[in-house]
Amino acid sequence: MATFDLYLDLKGIFENQKEKAFELRSGDQQDRIEKLRALQSWIRTNSQEIRDATFQDLGKPGPETDLTEISMVLGEISHAIRHLDKWMKPKTAPNPIHFTGTNAYVQPEPKGRSLIISPWNYPFNLTVGPWVSAIAAGCTTIIKPSEFSPATSALIASMASSLFSPAEASVVLGDVQVAKRLLELPFDHIFFTGSPGVGKEVMKAAANNLSSVTLELGGKSPVVVDANSDLDKAALKIAWGKSINCGQTCIAPDYVLVNKSIESAFLEKLAAAFEQLLNPRNKGIRASNSYGRIINMAHWNRLKQLMDNAVTEGAKITYGGEGQETEKYFAPTILSCVDQNMQVMNEELFGPLLPVIGYDDLDEAINVINGKPKPLALYVFSRNRYPVQQLAQKTSSGALVVNDCAAHFGHPNLPFGGVNNSGIGKAHGYHGFIAFSNEKAVFQQSSRIDLIKTLYPPYTLKKQKLIRLFSRFS
Ligand SMILES: NC(=O)c1ccc[n+]([C@@H]2O[C@H](COP(=O)([O-])OP(=O)(O)OC[C@H]3O[C@@H](n4cnc5c(N)ncnc54)[C@H](O)[C@@H]3O)[C@@H](O)[C@H]2O)c1
C-alpha cells in the first residue's frame, strides 16, 4: 500500500475498497485475528518509534506514551482477540409464545467501508484504537489522522502500508479539505473523534449518504469535591488527570466544584499534588521529564488568552500561571475566584488551566453542571453515597466516575463515549466492535408450526379472538 497525499483521487481509494469489503463479509474469524496479531506485533516491535513520534508532536514523556497510547491500543487488541469468537456469534432472540417454532437471532455483520477521522491529542491511541474495532468487525478502512500531529500520522501511514493492502486499509494524510472531501463519499460507517463543532459538520455530511456515525467528542468534564472526601486522594487524582498530556485530554477534569467548607484546604492540596507529581526535586515543572508540551502556538496562545481574560475579570492564579512560548511550555495553573460568566467556564479548556469554584449546597453544583452541555465524564469525590446518588440521578454524562479521574478510559468492558454534545455512539471492546457492525435481525419461520399464519385474513370471529389472545402475550 502507498501513503496518499493531499489531492490524490480519494474516490479511487474508496472504490478500490469495494470488492474487499464484500470479501470480508464472509466473517472469517481467524483472518481477523491474524490481522490483529500482525498489528500487535508491529506495535511491540516499533514502540520506540511510537514514543519518538509522540515526543516530536507533543513532547510526550516516553512512559506517558507507553501508558496512554501504546498499552491502551495493545489492551484493545488483546481484548478483541480474546473475545472475537463470542462477539461474532449469533445471539439468540428469545421467542414470545406466538413465535413458537421460529428461529430468531441477531447476527453481527461488517458494516462495510469505514472512515476514521482522528485528532492530535492521543494521535496513536485515538487512530489505531478505533481501527482495531473496524478490523475486529471486518470492515475496510480509510483513515484520516490529524495534520497537527504529523510525525505520528506519518508513522501510522507507514504501519498501515507495511501490514495491509490499500484495498483493505489506506491512510490519507491531509488537512480539513481532505477530511471534507472524504466525507462526501458514501461510507457505511464514519468514526470521528474531535471537537463538538466539527462533529456537527461530520454528522451533516454523513446525513447526505445516511452513513452511520460514531462521534467521540469533547466538552467540559466537571469534578465535584464533596465536603466529606479524602482530600489528599482527590487532589492527587485531579492533578494527575489534568497534567497527563498537559490537560489536552477529552476526559481531563475541566473545572472543579468544591464544597466551600474545604475550598482553601483543597486548593493547597491541589497545588501540593502538582508539585508531588511534576516537581519532586524542586527544579521546576518546566525541567520535568514527566510533563509534555502544548501541541502548537495557536493552542498555547488560546490558553494564555483564556488565563489572562480570567485574571482581568477577577480570577486569581493560586498556582502556576507561567509559560515559555518557544518551548510551548504551559504550567499547570489553578484559577480561583472564578465566575460562571468567564470565558474559562464557557468553553472546553483542553489544556492545563483548572478553574476551581466553591459551592455551598450540592444542588448549586448540580445546577452549574446542568447549565452546560452534557459532559463526556463527570467526576465526584466523596465518602458518602448521597452526593453520588444525587449526581447520578440529576445529571447526564457519558461516564460517572467516583473517586477517580480518567481511569475509566482503560476499562475494556465499559462503553466509552459521550451523550449529545459530548458524543453519539460508543467505543472500546465489544461496543467498538458493534459500532462497526450491523446487528442484522435473522428470523426463520418453522416449516412445521406456523402460528403467524393463523392470524392472516379473513378475520373470522375465531381469528379475532386469537389476535386478542396473542396481543396479551406480546
Ligand atoms: N471523545 C473522545 O474520545 C475524544 C478524544 C480526544 C479528543 N476529543 C476532542 O477533540 C477535540 C480536540 O481535537 P482536535 O483539535 O484534533 O479536533 P478537531 O475536531 O479540530 O479535529 C479532529 C479531526 O477532524 C478533522 N477536521 C477538522 N475540521 C474539519 C471539518 N470541518 N470537517 C471534517 N473534518 C475536520 C481534522 O483534520 C482532524 O483530523 C477536543 O474537543 C477533544 O475533547 C474527543
d(CA 259, CA 183): 46
- Nearest atom, ligand 1, residue 145 CA: 39
| pLDDT tier at 472, thresholds 50, 70, 90 | confident
pLDDT value of residue 8: 56
What's the mean pLDDT in 101-119?
97
Q: Give residue 44's domain range.
A: 3-217+424-438
Q: Indicate if 308 and 433 belong to the same structural domain.
A: no
> How many Å apart are CA 172 and CA 410, to the nearest integer?
28
**Could you tell me if 145 and 238 lie in one domain?**
no
User: Is 348 annotated as catalytic?
Assistant: no
Pair 385, 350 in one domain? yes
In-domain check, residue 156: yes
Task: Tell me if residue 364 is catalytic.
Answer: no
> Is residue 466 situated within a structural domain?
no
Domain boundary, last residue among 414, 446, 466: 414
**Mutational pocket test of ligand 1: of 171, 184, 185, 195, the residue with most ligand atoms within 8 Å of the beta carbon:** 195
Asked if residue 471 is part of any domain, the answer here is: no
Task: Ligand 1, residue 427: give the atom nearest the CA.
Answer: 3
**pLDDT above 90 coverage of the chain, percent:** 93
Using DSSP's 3-state secondary structure scheme, residue 357 falls into: strand
**Same domain? 227 vs 207:** no
For residue 182, tell me if it sits in a domain. yes
pLDDT in tens, 138-172: 999 999 999 999 999 999 999 999 999 999 999 99
Q: Are strands 189-193 and 212-216 parallel, antiparallel or unpaired?
A: parallel
Same domain, 237 and 282: yes
State the pLDDT at residue 305. Answer: 98
- Do 325 and 200 fall into the same domain? no
Whether residue 98 is found in the same domain as residue 192? yes
- DSSP secondary structure letter of residue 285: G
| Tens digits of residue pLDDT in 168-203 | 999 999 999 999 999 999 999 999 999 999 999 999
Nearest 5°: the CA angle 461, 465, 468 is: 140
Asked if pLDDT for residue 287 goes beyond 70, the answer is yes
Of 69, 76, 246, 250, the active-site residue reads: 250
Residues 125 and 163 placed together within one structural domain of the fold: yes
* First-last CA distance in the chain: 53
pLDDT of residue 184: 95
Strand partners, 313: none
CB crowding 309-335: b at 16 or more within 10 Å, else e: ebeeeebebbbbbebeeeebbbbbbbb
Whose alpha carbon is nearest atom 32 of ligand 1? 180
CATH of the domain at 193: 3.40.605.10
Give how many domains the chain has, as a whole number.
Answer: 2
Check residue 151 and give its pLDDT: 98
Q: Which atom of ligand 1 is nearest to the CA of 348?
A: 41
**233 and 310 inside one domain:** yes
Q: Identify the residue whose C-alpha is closest to ligand 1 atom 3.
A: 216
Q: Are strands 329-330 and 323-324 parallel, antiparallel or unpaired?
A: antiparallel
Query: Could you tell me which of 184, 152, 188 has the C-alpha nearest to residue 171?
Result: 152
* CATH at 393: 3.40.309.10
Indicate the SS3 state at residue 224: strand
Query: In this structure, which residue's CA is closest to atom 17 in ligand 1?
Result: 194
Q: Whose CA is nearest to atom 41 of ligand 1?
A: 195
Say which residues have a Cβ less than 8 Å from residue 335's Cβ, sequence separation at least 6.
Answer: 307, 310, 311, 315, 316, 317, 318, 344, 353, 354, 355, 356
- 218-270: per-residue pLDDT in tens? 999 999 999 999 999 999 999 999 999 999 999 999 999 999 999 999 999 99
Return d(Cα 128, Cα 473) in angstroms, integer: 47
Mean local confidence (pLDDT), 286-293: 97
Do 398 and 434 belong to one domain? no
For ligand 1, say whether the CB of 168 is within 6 Å of any of its atoms: no
Question: Is 451 among the domain residues?
Answer: no
- Give the per-residue pLDDT at 5: 47
User: Are residues 333 and 228 part of one domain?
Assistant: yes
Do 407 and 430 reside in the same domain of the chain?
A: no
425-467 pLDDT, tens digit each: 999 999 999 999 999 999 999 888 888 898 999 999 999 999 9
Query: What is the average pLDDT value for the chain, to the nearest integer?
Result: 96
Question: What pTM value is reported for the model?
Answer: 0.96
> Does the beta carbon of 146 lie inside 6 Å of ligand 1?
yes
Residues 216, 263, 348, 405: which is the catalytic one? 216
On whether residue 444 sits in a domain, the answer given is no
Mean pLDDT value of segment 28-32: 96
- pLDDT, tens digit, for every residue of 335-384? 999 999 999 999 999 999 999 999 999 999 999 999 999 999 999 999 99
In a domain, 419, yes or no: no
Is residue 6 pLDDT above 70, yes or no?
no
Separation of CA 398 and ligand 1 centre (Å): 18
In a domain, 269, yes or no: yes
Nearest CA to 354 out of 270, 284, 287 is that of 270
